[in-house]
A and B are shown apart, each in its own frame.
Chain A
Amino acid sequence: MARYIVRRLLTMLLTMILVSMLVFAIVEIAPGNVARNILGAYATPEQEASMSRQLGLTRPVSIRYISWLFGSDWQAKGEIGLPMAQIISEQGLVKNAREWWAVAPNGEHLQWTVEEGKLYKLVLLADGNTEKILDESSWKAGEDGDEYFWGVDTANRAAKWVKGSKDIEYRLDYSGWVESTGAPVEYIPLSKGLIRGDAGVSLRYQAPVSEVIGRRILNSFILAALAIVVSIPTAVILGLIAGLNEGKLIDRIISIGGLITAGSPDFATGILLIMVFAIWLKVLPGAAVFTSADALWKNPNLLVLPVLTASLVEIGYVLRITRSSVVEVMNSPYVRTAILKGLTYRQVVTRHVLRNAMMAPITVIMLHVNWFIGGLVVVESVFGYPGLGSFILNAALFKDVYSIEAGAMVLILLAVGTQLIADLIYSLVNPRIRYS
């Protein structure tokens, strides 16, 4: 059993590694340049090339993948020779912005900048301001005779300056394009990497993705949990009733109902529910747009239609699986044994049918988790519910790459993790797995 769990965990790990490669490949290497997505259609080729360098897109794909997943600060540390630190700054335009600094042996936090060919060192002061000090002595001699310097620049990148370089850096600021000469020849955008909780800065929200995503995950979790609590027991009971009355009228009604709710696309179900309850009957809100962070607690009504929509599809699906499983078990030889043992119908059902009939649905529900999560994305977007799904959708529509990547990885991790848990529950229910 322990061996089984370890094995499953390792497969899950392998799957997640492959998934991360796929996500990275689709989002960052697929046709359609990330830099161009950010810059829009009117950037000049020079501006685009500069932007690509700044984003580290010119670095080899394998290095970019590793940086994305495991961070790049340790790579930069190797070049700069000083440890890196990420601190939260109260200043600047971006709220709670995380800034990278190099930490000198004496404990000073340092950044560098090159202005008019001269290298300056920026020392962080206690009040959050910086002191700018000329640091021309730090240039190092390169192998080809040039003088160069590796340091942290003011935009969270490790950068390599070459003395006397005439390169131009184009930067898109709130005011428009900013040009500066003497730009670094090489950049390493600094991040801790996805695994260490740093998913980069959202291009859309101009805030760290990890910060935006946290609340969204919680909202989605509430929605999903409620939907599961509503749908699974309902579905199992309905499926059981239908299966035990195979071929009778009640079975027909339940089965056809299940076919309809399972077959309708989530958005269509949601729209129809809004029409009936919000527009026609006017008893429930048709949207779940949060006006404040605690809107859910103030007005739980917001949740009714989203939960109902997410549940209906799931109910239809699970009840059909449960029903066919019950029918199959009812016709099995061991149920025949139980009946011919002289047990009452009730005993046969509770002792012999239930447990065995639940095994098939568990595996199928397990495989269905992805479907359910996909459904949540749609439900959130129907109702404008601020969850993880609508976050990813908006990121996709806005081409906010870091948000897409992080959101996708979190969503898949949740899906795969849920499957793992379901798998473990299944192995507990099924003695064939438990004792092998």
Chain B
Amino acid sequence: MATENISMTKSTSRFVLTLRGIWKGLQELAELIFASPTAVIGLVVVLAWVFVAIFAPLITTYSPLEQDYKNINQKPTAAHVLGTDNLGRDVWTRVAYGARTILSLGPISVFVAFLIGLALGLPAGYYQGWVDELIMRILDALMAFPTILLYMIIISAVGASPFNVVIAIAIGGAPGIARLVRALTMDIRTREYVAAAKLRGDSDIMIMLREILPNSRGPLIVDFLLRIGYAAFYIGTLGFLGLGLPPPTPDWGGMVQEGHGRMSANIWPVLSATMAIVTLVIGLNMFADGLREESMRYQ
């Protein structure tokens, strides 16, 4: 009974500690963002797309798959603000729903990539020696692939589907993350507070999770944001190459791919989807980049 109580207080205090830590972290992040005009502009653009993605059904009047053979290849009109494509689908609706695709698959794939990257990078940087050597050689080999090539052969082997796109992007991103985590770990493991943790007999896993991981969060958060930009970049590119989501899923890259042969006849689907991906990726980049520069300035 008594021991139960103790563990209760322990876990609650741990919980409060993490909550407080997260709140503090968020506050710091907000301060950083608002110190950098670049980051603010980027954030506004990204939030605009997030808004479009969340409220897509409310701000469009058609369904993204609804075809209308009477109104194909229309120029923008009041009824179709960005015109229609060669199947008579409303371009604005497809762009809005396309935002859902890219904004959900992007973060998910980066998250998966981070899980893999952390699992490889932490032990490599912490133990060094042969563990490091083994992990690094495999990562080197993976990084020797031009990313697009890796995606192409993975997708051609396993087929195009949202799940496979996530897997491909996670595999492509994980080596870079693992290297970053490894470098941060190698730096932090020499800090004296890590030695202090060893001197209270903490286990290696405990040290990696309690001492090293929290203190590498700054660069990791920035990297996470940057990588969401890259993921959006690659999801668009895969779609364009015909390796993304199978049609008729609304997907920006796919829209460019479908329309790009017919551009001289109807420029609107291609132009809209292109501008959508460009603004989103640049918005994400500006946000992450502004944040990085601002956080560097603090050091």
Residues of A within 8 A of B (CB): 11, 14-16, 18-19, 21-23, 26-27, 30-32, 259-260, 262-268, 271-272, 274-275, 279, 286, 370-371, 373-375, 377-378, 381-382, 392-393, 395-397, 399, 404, 408, 411-412, 415-416
- On chain B, the number of residues with a Cβ less than 8 Å from chain A's Cβ atoms is 44
Establish whether residues B141 and A271, one from each chain, have CB atoms under 8 Å apart when the complex forms: no
Q: Which of B152, B243, B267 has the most CB of A within 10 A?
A: B152
Establish whether residues A18 and B137, one from each chain, have CB atoms under 8 Å apart when the complex forms: yes
When the two chains form the complex, which single residue of B137, B153, B237 contacts A408, counting CB atoms closer than 8 Å?
Answer: B153
A sample of 6 inter-chain contacts (CB < 8 A) reads A31-B158, A373-B149, A378-B241, A397-B243, A411-B149, A415-B144
B30 touches A (CB below 8 Å): no
Q: Distance (Å) between the CB of A414 and the closest chain B CB? A: 9
Establish whether residues A267 and B256, one from each chain, have CB atoms under 8 Å apart when the complex forms: yes
Interface residue SS majority, chain B: helix
List residues 266-283 of chain B with CB under 8 A from any CB of chain A: 267, 270-271, 274, 277-278, 281-282
Question: When A and B form their complex, which 5 residue pairs have the shortest distance between CB atoms, in order from nearest?
Answer: A374-B148, A18-B141, A396-B156, A374-B146, A30-B157
Q: Distance (Å) between the CB of A124 and the closest chain B CB? A: 38
A413 to B172, CA, bound (A): 18
B75 touches A (CB below 8 Å): no
- Cβ contacts B236-272/A at 8 Å (1 or 0 each): 1100111100000000010010001001100100110
Given contact pairs A268-B278, A378-B241, A412 touches B146 in the complex (Cβ within 8 A): yes
B285 touches A (CB below 8 Å): yes
> Which residues of B lie under 8 Å from residue A279 when comparing CB positions?
263-264, 267
> Which residues of B lie under 8 Å from residue A415 when comparing CB positions?
144-146
B138 touches A (CB below 8 Å): yes
> Which residues of B lie under 8 Å from residue A11 when comparing CB positions?
140
A370 to B230, CA, bound (A): 14
Q: Distance (Å) between the CB of B92 and the closest chain A CB? A: 18
A22 to B277, CA, bound (A): 31
Q: Distance (Å) between the CB of B286 and the closest chain A CB? A: 6
Establish whether residues A267 and B236, one from each chain, have CB atoms under 8 Å apart when the complex forms: yes
B40 touches A (CB below 8 Å): no
Q: Distance (Å) between the CB of A373 and the closest chain B CB? A: 4
Establish whether residues B158 and A373, one from each chain, have CB atoms under 8 Å apart when the complex forms: no
A371 to B138, CA, bound (A): 19
Establish whether residues B153 and A15, one from each chain, have CB atoms under 8 Å apart when the complex forms: no
Q: Which of A19, A30, A262, A396 has the most CB of B within 10 A?
A: A396
When the two chains form the complex, which single residue of A31, A275, A373 contacts B267, counting CB atoms closer than 8 Å?
Answer: A275
Q: Distance (Å) between the CB of B204 and the closest chain A CB? A: 27
> Which partner residue on chain A sits nearest B147 by CB separation?
A374
Q: Distance (Å) between the CB of A430 and the closest chain B CB? A: 20
> Which residues of A lie under 8 Å from residue B229 when comparing CB positions?
263
Q: Distance (Å) between the CB of A273 and the closest chain B CB? A: 11
Establish whether residues B146 and A259, one from each chain, have CB atoms under 8 Å apart when the complex forms: no
Other A-B pairs, 9, CB within 8 Å; known A267-B253, A271-B256 = A14-B137, A18-B141, A263-B281, A264-B278, A266-B237, A267-B237, A370-B143, A370-B146, A374-B148
> Which residues of A lie under 8 Å from residue B285 when comparing CB positions?
259, 262-263
B218 touches A (CB below 8 Å): no
Establish whether residues B256 and A370, one from each chain, have CB atoms under 8 Å apart when the complex forms: no
Establish whether residues A18 and B138, one from each chain, have CB atoms under 8 Å apart when the complex forms: yes
A286 to B270, CA, bound (A): 14
Establish whether residues B155 and A370, one from each chain, have CB atoms under 8 Å apart when the complex forms: no
> Which partner residue on chain A sits nearest B160 by CB separation?
A397
Residues of B within 8 A of A (CB): 137-138, 140-149, 152-159, 229, 233, 236-237, 240-243, 253, 256, 260, 263-264, 267, 270-271, 274, 277-278, 281-282, 285-286, 289
A384 to B81, CA, bound (A): 31
> Which residues of A lie under 8 Å from residue B278 when comparing CB positions?
263-265, 268, 272
Establish whether residues B270 and A271, one from each chain, have CB atoms under 8 Å apart when the complex forms: yes
> Which residues of B lie under 8 Å from residue A18 when comparing CB positions?
137-138, 140-141
> Which partner residue on chain B sits nearest A29 by CB separation?
B157
Q: Distance (Å) between the CB of B281 and the closest chain A CB? A: 5
When the two chains form the complex, which single residue of A16, A272, A393 contacts B152, counting CB atoms closer than 8 Å?
Answer: A393
> Which partner residue on chain A sits nearest B237 by CB separation?
A265
> Which residues of A lie under 8 Å from residue B148 when comparing CB positions?
374-375, 377-378
> Which residues of B lie under 8 Å from residue A393 when comparing CB positions?
152, 241
Establish whether residues B142 and A268, one from each chain, have CB atoms under 8 Å apart when the complex forms: no
Establish whether residues A268 and B274, one from each chain, have CB atoms under 8 Å apart when the complex forms: yes
A374 to B286, CA, bound (A): 22
When the two chains form the complex, which single residue of B154, B281, B289 contacts A26, counting CB atoms closer than 8 Å?
Answer: B154
Q: Distance (Å) between the CB of B133 and the closest chain A CB? A: 11
A271 to B277, CA, bound (A): 12
A264 to B144, CA, bound (A): 23
A28 to B134, CA, bound (A): 24
Given contact pairs A18-B138, A263-B285, A279-B264, A416 touches B144 in the complex (Cβ within 8 A): yes
> Which partner residue on chain A sits nearest B154 by CB separation?
A26
Given contact pairs A23-B153, A404-B153, A378 touches B145 in the complex (Cβ within 8 A): no
> Which residues of B lie under 8 Å from residue A395 when comparing CB positions?
156
> Which residues of B lie under 8 Å from residue A275 when comparing CB positions?
263, 267, 270-271
A379 to B146, CA, bound (A): 14
Establish whether residues B253 and A19, one from each chain, have CB atoms under 8 Å apart when the complex forms: no
A381 to B151, CA, bound (A): 15
When the two chains form the complex, which single residue of B153, B158, B237, B267 contacts A378, counting CB atoms closer than 8 Å?
Answer: B237
Q: Which of A23, A263, A411, A415 has the most CB of B within 10 A?
A: A263
> Which residues of B lie under 8 Å from residue A274 when comparing CB positions?
263
> Which residues of A lie under 8 Å from residue B241 when comparing CB positions?
267, 377-378, 381, 393
Establish whether residues B237 and A15, one from each chain, have CB atoms under 8 Å apart when the complex forms: no
> Which residues of B lie under 8 Å from residue A378 when comparing CB positions?
148, 237, 240-241
A267 to B155, CA, bound (A): 19
Establish whether residues B242 and A397, one from each chain, have CB atoms under 8 Å apart when the complex forms: yes
> Which partner residue on chain A sits nearest B155 by CB separation?
A396
> Which residues of A lie under 8 Å from residue B233 when comparing CB positions?
263, 265
Establish whether residues A392 and B237, one from each chain, have CB atoms under 8 Å apart when the complex forms: no
> Which residues of B lie under 8 Å from residue A265 when comparing CB positions?
233, 236-237, 240, 277-278, 281
